Amino acid sequence: MSLESQFFLLMKFVIPIYLLAFILYAVRAFKGPTIVDIVLAVDCLSFDVAAFMAILAVYFKSVYLVSGAMILALWGYLLDIYIAKHLVSREVGA
């Protein structure tokens, strides 16, 4: 059994677990009571989509998916900082 077929066998177990976790995060993001719950769920969702895209880059043998993963990770951090800044001081500017 070669390494490639072992990798595809691993992906048959890993990809459904990730999709189930995405669904659970999306449920919390849609029904979150306060705005910080929604932001936290979207934050977890973006970081996990970044990790999932790095896995899919190995699955589809493509380099370009990993650059999108970097952008997603930085976008989640930016969302946190801007929402927190707006909640603390009621403005987003300096």
Partner 1 sequence: MSVLFYLGAALIVIGALCDLFGALGLLRFPNFYVRLHAATVGIIGGAAVPLFGVALLALGADFLPNRYAIAGASFVTGVTVLLASPAGSHALAYAAHKAKLVQRPEIDHLAEVRDDD
Contact between 44 and partner 1 per CB under 8 A: yes
Query: Long-range contacts made by residues 83-92, C-beta under 8 angstroms, separation at least 24?
Result: 83/35, 83/36, 83/39, 87/35, 87/36
Q: Is 91 helix (H, G, I), strand (E, B) or coil?
A: coil
Residue 87 touching partner 1 (CB under 8 A) = yes
Q: Which is nearer to partner 1, 3 or 94 (CB)?
A: 3
Q: Is the dihedral of CA 16, 20, 25, 29 positive or negative?
A: positive
**Interface residue list for partner 1 (CB under 8 A):** 2-4, 6-7, 10, 13-14, 17-18, 20-22, 24-25, 27-28, 34-37, 39-41, 43-44, 47-48, 50-51, 54-55, 57-58, 61, 63, 66-67, 69-70, 73-74, 76-77, 79-81, 83-85, 87-88
